A = this chain, B = another copy of it.
Amino acid sequence: MRPRRYIGEDHARPDSPDKVAGKAVYIHDMVRPGMLYGKIKFSEHAHARIVSIDTSKAERLPGVKCVITGANTPQVRVGFLRDNLALKRDRVRQFRDEVAAVAAIDPDIAAEAVDLIEVEYEPLPAVFDPVEALAPGAPLVHEIDPRGRPCNTNRLPLDYGHCTGDIDEARRRSAFVVEGDFSTPVVQQACMGTAGCIAEFDMSGNLTMWAKTQIPFLAQRDFNRALMEMGLPGNNSRVIVPALGGGFGTGLDTHCYEYIAILLAHASGHAVKVVYDREEEFAYLSPRQSARTHIVQGCDRDGRLTFRDVRVLQDNGAYASWGATYPTVMLVPITSLYTVPVVRFQAEIVYTNNTYCQAMRGYGNPEVTWAIESNLDDLAEAAGIDPFELRRLNCNRPDTTTPMGLKISTCGLDQCLDATGEKLGWAQRRAADRRTNGDKPRKRRGVGMASLIHVGGSGKIYKSDASGIILKLDDYANVNVYYGGVEMGQGLHSSLSLAVADALGVTPAQVHINETDTGTCPWDVGTHASRGAFMACNAAILASDKLRARIFQWCKQLYPEATDFDLVDSVITLGAANGPSKQLELAKLLRAIHFRDDGDMLTETVFYDPPNELPNWKTGIGNMSATYTFGTQGVEVEVDEETGDIEILRMVSAIDVGRVLNRQTLEGQVYGGIAQGIGYALYEEVKMHKGRILNPGFTDYKIPTAAEMAFPIDLVFVETDDAHGPFGAKGVGEPGLVPTAPAVANAVYDAVGVRITDLPITPEKVLAALAQRD
């Protein structure tokens, strides 16, 4: 194990003071010289032909600098399948479709101008249910595919599948088989900081975008393509990421509002800022994909899993985002959560006239873990085995390969299960007092648990999964770190600064992380797949090793009597074979190297490409991550049989984190994940009526607040010290959220004997199920 002075301890985040003091600069705070404010006119129909757009009144409003529509701007294609246009030309396919936009000298004038734009529509038949959308004769959301070919289905041209072993055979040979349908709703990422950007052109046609993005370099690629489509001579865009108020997947795609800002900036010749207000964020940004999962699982007489067969139907909405690739990550738990020898998976992704959706934390994993882990309790019941025992029996093991080809290097799932069982008091509480609760007969208590597997060593879903880094030492032994991953509130810069401090041998205060900026940072595929700290810290270690080697080489040259060298906290120790060791300030050495003839200053760069594979989408095979994170959550609930209310009494969350990097941010990640998991389990759902979002705001869209989260949470960090992980650590950005909902559902079942299969588990659903039960 690497020596660790800061890693593993409890550290305040370097960005916290500025954020707490209101000094961090978010896109909302930014102003560029001569900047205009952009505002978008959205569709008034779920599906309609645009007959005409009259912008004349808007154009005449004083303070309006330009009004653009699809008719007076170049056609800019948007999206993972490029099936969307920044400004729609002849047709709208959802309520959030962008039909026009305005740039004005202040936001109020821009808003007034947007209201003055008159659009005439001819409504078209629409489809809002993915099953209906697949039925013959359903209205087609797209009549032409992105390549211009006629299209006669609402099914997206993306084939995902997996098959290991003979499902029918396995099913026949199983002692117990259970089957179920589970669904998850569209939910909001609910970032505290809303979406926004500033687009600015120089006079050579190069674009600078200040963007709320998690993928600065893929965004740069997208914007470069837009510049080409706009016929601009240069092909260079630069993406700079200001402070981010949360990402959770909203920043995994580029968005029409960004291209509209680009078009407005180009048309007006000014910098243009587009920032969504909370209602726009809810109604006109992409929430989480919903999914319907059909699952069948079986086990033998002893409870050993024999097969898992899963079909997923994903409502994509009107256009495709990267969220359409959810199935690549769904494959991870489907093929590899617990040891299951035979697996089949099929996914269908379907266009509808609903708002188009996007990825969110977990990237498909919570959707199918919801089905797997709920259904597993049913299987345990069918087999007459305690659910804990069933899980323990089928637990993943280190140094194994799963049907998907995932190479499980380290695995602490057994310890996570044990810790959860123990801390929750599983043996005492499970079923023992089921449906009884002393003096509160209406209220019944129960316990449940669920586990997770997730990518923990990045997750390859693009041609490159790498991250570059540059470390630059100055005369004061301060280190400038250039890293292209995004600090979006999760604590990446905290882990990274501790990693540089420990790996290089300086103090965390000497580590200064530069802005995320495609102009200055080396390439990075983006911050997703729980890869942030894993990639950043691994890259930092490699670059630090190179720097240390050069530092020690200089030591050898300048202090030939020294035979061995160490560097900790910016102090070099020169050990001599015969004699006492000597200490030397790193800064002093650096100045000595610099201020001499043929001087040098030390900068090192590393491009770290992790040892993982891009899965084959059709076969569903590929070791997509360098290592995998495991965990178990346990929950005790109290269900009010009269009201259907569910109260969480306490939770346990045990995670195999490889190693703790910064305990404080790690805890923050898991607490935050659990809060989102509780929201997913109990409260959150974007309500739509014929494609129109009915609850675009925190008044009607309920996320857990402190009041809902006021129950004790026991965190257990299992340290398995993964060989691929930086200091042994695995990625933990997403896992906190993944198994929460099924753990709650299993606890509800334990308490009152009803199985809720569609999230969220609202009091109405509980009451309805109780009525059926009784």
Asked if B23 and A522 sit within 8 Å, CB to CB, the answer is: no
For A34, list chain B residues within 8 Å (CB): 23
Which of B238, B523, B599 interacts with A609 by CB under 8 Å? B599
Please report the C-alpha to C-alpha distance between residue A33 and residue B210 in the assembled complex, in whole angstroms: 15
Asked if A464 and B523 sit within 8 Å, CB to CB, the answer is: no
For A522, list chain B residues within 8 Å (CB): 472, 601, 603
Asked if A33 and B31 sit within 8 Å, CB to CB, the answer is: yes
Which of B236, B466, B601 interacts with A512 by CB under 8 Å? B236
Closest chain B CB from A461 CB (angstroms): 13
For A609, list chain B residues within 8 Å (CB): 597-600
Asked if A25 and B33 sit within 8 Å, CB to CB, the answer is: yes
Asked if A519 and B480 sit within 8 Å, CB to CB, the answer is: yes
- Interface-forming stretch among A200-208, A320-328, A441-449? A200-208
For A702, list chain B residues within 8 Å (CB): none
If the complex has contacts A17-B202, A23-B202, A598-B609, are A523 and B482 also in contact, measured as CB distance less than 8 A?
A: no
Asked if B21 and A203 sit within 8 Å, CB to CB, the answer is: yes
Asked if A595 and B463 sit within 8 Å, CB to CB, the answer is: yes
Q: With an 8 A cutoff between CB atoms, is A224 at the interface? A: yes
Which of B31, B233, B519 interacts with A514 by CB under 8 Å? B519
If the complex has contacts A599-B607, A609-B599, are A519 and B512 also in contact, measured as CB distance less than 8 A?
A: yes
If the complex has contacts A17-B203, A202-B23, are A601 and B595 also in contact, measured as CB distance less than 8 A?
A: no
Q: Return the CB mask of A16-38 against B: 1 if under 8 Å, else 0.
A: 01101101010001111110000
Closest chain B CB from A244 CB (angstroms): 16
Asked if B523 and A520 sit within 8 Å, CB to CB, the answer is: no
Asked if B203 and A23 sit within 8 Å, CB to CB, the answer is: yes
Q: With an 8 A cutoff between CB atoms, is A475 at the interface? A: yes
A-B CB contact pairs (8 Å), 11 listed: A20-B203, A31-B31, A236-B476, A238-B512, A474-B523, A514-B520, A520-B520, A598-B609, A599-B607, A600-B609, A603-B607
Asked if B599 and A512 sit within 8 Å, CB to CB, the answer is: no
Known pairs A31-B33, A468-B603. 19 more at Cβ < 8 A?
A18-B202, A18-B203, A18-B204, A31-B31, A236-B512, A238-B512, A468-B601, A470-B470, A470-B603, A475-B523, A480-B520, A517-B520, A520-B520, A522-B603, A598-B609, A599-B607, A599-B609, A600-B609, A604-B605
Q: With an 8 A cutoff between CB atoms, is A234 at the interface? A: yes
Which B-chain residue is minimally distant from A509 (CB atoms)?
B234
Closest chain B CB from A337 CB (angstroms): 27
Which of B236, B480, B518, B605 interacts with A603 by CB under 8 Å? B605
- For the complex of A and B, 9 pairs with smallest distance between CB atoms: A17-B203, A463-B595, A29-B33, A520-B520, A603-B605, A599-B609, A18-B203, A21-B203, A31-B31
Q: With an 8 A cutoff between CB atoms, is A235 at the interface? A: yes
Which of B206, B463, B478, B523 interacts with A236 by CB under 8 Å? B478
Closest chain B CB from A270 CB (angstroms): 9
Q: With an 8 A cutoff between CB atoms, is A63 at the interface? A: no
Asked if B466 and A599 sit within 8 Å, CB to CB, the answer is: yes
For A14, list chain B residues within 8 Å (CB): 204
For A519, list chain B residues within 8 Å (CB): 480, 512, 514
Asked if A594 and B464 sit within 8 Å, CB to CB, the answer is: yes
Q: With an 8 A cutoff between CB atoms, is A221 at the interface? A: yes
For A605, list chain B residues within 8 Å (CB): 470, 603-605
Asked if B607 and A601 sit within 8 Å, CB to CB, the answer is: yes
Which B-chain residue is minimally distant from A477 (CB atoms)?
B235
Please report the C-alpha to C-alpha distance between residue A474 and residue B236 in the assembled complex, in whole angstroms: 10
For A510, list chain B residues within 8 Å (CB): 236
Q: Return the CB mask of A436-474 against B: 1 if under 8 Å, else 0.
A: 000000000000000000000000000110101010101
For A18, list chain B residues within 8 Å (CB): 202-204
Instruction: Count the copies.
Output: 2
Please report the C-alpha to C-alpha distance between residue A519 and residue B519 in the assembled complex, in whole angstroms: 13
For A600, list chain B residues within 8 Å (CB): 607, 609
Asked if A601 and B514 sit within 8 Å, CB to CB, the answer is: no
For A20, list chain B residues within 8 Å (CB): 203
For A604, list chain B residues within 8 Å (CB): 605
Asked if A523 and B235 sit within 8 Å, CB to CB, the answer is: no
Please report the C-alpha to C-alpha distance between residue A522 and residue B512 in the assembled complex, in whole angstroms: 14
For A466, list chain B residues within 8 Å (CB): 594, 599, 601
Which of B31, B468, B482, B597 interacts with A520 by CB under 8 Å? B482
For A468, list chain B residues within 8 Å (CB): 601, 603
Please report the C-alpha to C-alpha distance between residue A274 and residue B17 in the assembled complex, in whole angstroms: 26
Please report the C-alpha to C-alpha distance between residue A468 and residue B475 in the assembled complex, in whole angstroms: 13
Q: Return the CB mask of A202-228 against B: 1 if under 8 Å, else 0.
A: 111010000000000000010010000
Asked if A601 and B204 sit within 8 Å, CB to CB, the answer is: no
For A29, list chain B residues within 8 Å (CB): 33
Asked if A509 and B595 sit within 8 Å, CB to CB, the answer is: no
Asked if A221 and B475 sit within 8 Å, CB to CB, the answer is: yes
For A512, list chain B residues within 8 Å (CB): 206, 236, 238, 519
For A202, list chain B residues within 8 Å (CB): 17-18, 23
Closest chain B CB from A19 CB (angstroms): 9
Which B-chain residue is minimally distant from A605 (CB atoms)?
B603
For A25, list chain B residues within 8 Å (CB): 32-33
Which B-chain residue is minimally distant from A201 (CB atoms)?
B23
Closest chain B CB from A664 CB (angstroms): 16
**Residue from A21, A34, A238, A519 whose CB has the most chain B CB atoms within 10 Å:** A519
Which B-chain residue is minimally distant from A271 (CB atoms)?
B23
For A472, list chain B residues within 8 Å (CB): 522
Closest chain B CB from A295 CB (angstroms): 34
**Residue from A21, A221, A609 whose CB has the most chain B CB atoms within 10 Å:** A609
Closest chain B CB from A303 CB (angstroms): 40
Closest chain B CB from A178 CB (angstroms): 41
Which of B21, B33, B236, B478 interacts with A30 by CB under 8 Å? B33
Q: Return the CB mask of A590-620 against B: 1 if under 8 Å, else 0.
A: 0000110111110111010100000000000
For A204, list chain B residues within 8 Å (CB): 14, 17-18, 509
Please report the C-alpha to C-alpha distance between residue A202 and residue B23 in the assembled complex, in whole angstroms: 7
For A597, list chain B residues within 8 Å (CB): 609
Please report the C-alpha to C-alpha distance between residue A202 and residue B243 in the assembled complex, in whole angstroms: 13
Please report the C-alpha to C-alpha distance between residue A597 and residue B611 in the assembled complex, in whole angstroms: 8
Please report the C-alpha to C-alpha distance between residue A17 and residue B201 in the assembled complex, in whole angstroms: 12
Please report the C-alpha to C-alpha distance between residue A522 and residue B475 in the assembled complex, in whole angstroms: 11
Q: Return the CB mask of A476-498 against B: 1 if under 8 Å, else 0.
A: 10101010000000000000000
Please report the C-alpha to C-alpha distance between residue A427 and residue B512 in the assembled complex, in whole angstroms: 65
